[in-house]
């Protein structure tokens, strides 16, 4: 599977401008199976969503559906959404056949004010696309390893093969990002596709650091210049992943009661 991470600056509260940017970025990088955007890619990270959040049937989502079909690829990123009188930081994973899989961010960033207006999701979401099982996560979720813990399912296989993180992670906590995206890949024996924004807003500065991470912890993509806008593409090899899991089956050795109770 070919994955492209679209690491760009965001125009504050301007969905039209941001969608146009990502539309062109996809056109510049044809042939990928999945394109990943940063968190709240249509507006920037808005903690006061009233008047700014999009609807369940927003033009941003309609564009994702059209573009997914046009590119014959899945599009993945989160949007601030108002639904049934509540606000959600909602991850959309849109497939070329028109299927829209959603995940509402579970761990709201209370430190930054996200918990004041948004409602937290309560369900972990895994979707399958082109033979890869994918766990959908948003930014602050990265800090909670039990929430994304991989395990062996009833079919005898790991319940997922890749985690996608869309994020607006600030420069001040760069070391945590660099460390945790590798840790999540290593401990869960999976690939990690982590897309962070660059640029500045009223809340701070963003450094990028987007990466496709191998289950061993090394990077399959690399920025040409730290903190710059770029589009990063890498390949994940499922056969290699299965060989690794068979040779070194740590997921079989998880002792749930001992480890987590």
**Residues with catalytic roles:** 39, 105, 139
**Mode of pairing for the β-strands spanning 74-83 and 34-36:** parallel
Phi and psi of 227, rounded to 5°? 85, 5
Q: Which two tokens stand for residue 248?
A: 């070194």
Residues 136 and 159 sit within 8 Å (Cβ to Cβ): no
Cα–Cα distance for residue pair 132/208, rounded to 1 Å: 25
Q: Which two tokens stand for residue 168?
A: 């607006």
Cα–Cα distance for residue pair 82/118, rounded to 1 Å: 9
Q: Which two tokens stand for residue 209?
A: 């650091």
């Amino acid at each position: 599977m070919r994955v492209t991470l679209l690491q760009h600056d965001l125009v504050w509260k301007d969905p039209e401008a941001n969608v146009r940017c990502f539309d062109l970025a996809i056109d510049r990088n044809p042939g990928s199976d999945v394109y990943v955007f940063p968190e709240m890619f249509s507006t920037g990270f808005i903690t006061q969503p009233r008047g700014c959040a999009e609807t369940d049937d927003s033009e941003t989502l309609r564009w994702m559906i059209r573009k997914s079909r046009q590119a014959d690829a899945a599009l993945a990123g989160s949007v601030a959404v108002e639904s049934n009188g509540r606000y959600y930081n909602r991850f959309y994973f849109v497939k070329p056949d028109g299927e829209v899989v959603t995940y509402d961010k579970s761990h709201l960033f209370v430190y930054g004010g996200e918990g004041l207006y948004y409602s937290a999701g309560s369900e972990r979401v895994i979707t399958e696309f082109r033979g890869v099982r994918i766990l959908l996560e948003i930014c602050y979720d990265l800090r909670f390893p039990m929430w994304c813990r991989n395990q062996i399912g009833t079919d005898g296989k790991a319940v997922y093969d890749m985690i996608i993180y869309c994020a607006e992670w600030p420069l001040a906590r760069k070391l945590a990002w660099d460390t945790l995206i590798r840790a999540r890949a290593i401990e869960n024996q999976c690939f990690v596709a982590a897309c962070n924004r660059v640029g500045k807003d009223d809340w701070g500065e963003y450094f990028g650091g987007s990466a496709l991470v191998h289950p061993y912890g090394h990077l399959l993509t690399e920025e040409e210049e730290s903190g710059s806008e770029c589009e990063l593409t890498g390949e994940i090899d499922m056969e290699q992943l299965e060989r690794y899991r068979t040779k070194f089956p740590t997921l079989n050795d998880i002792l749930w009661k001992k480890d987590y109770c």
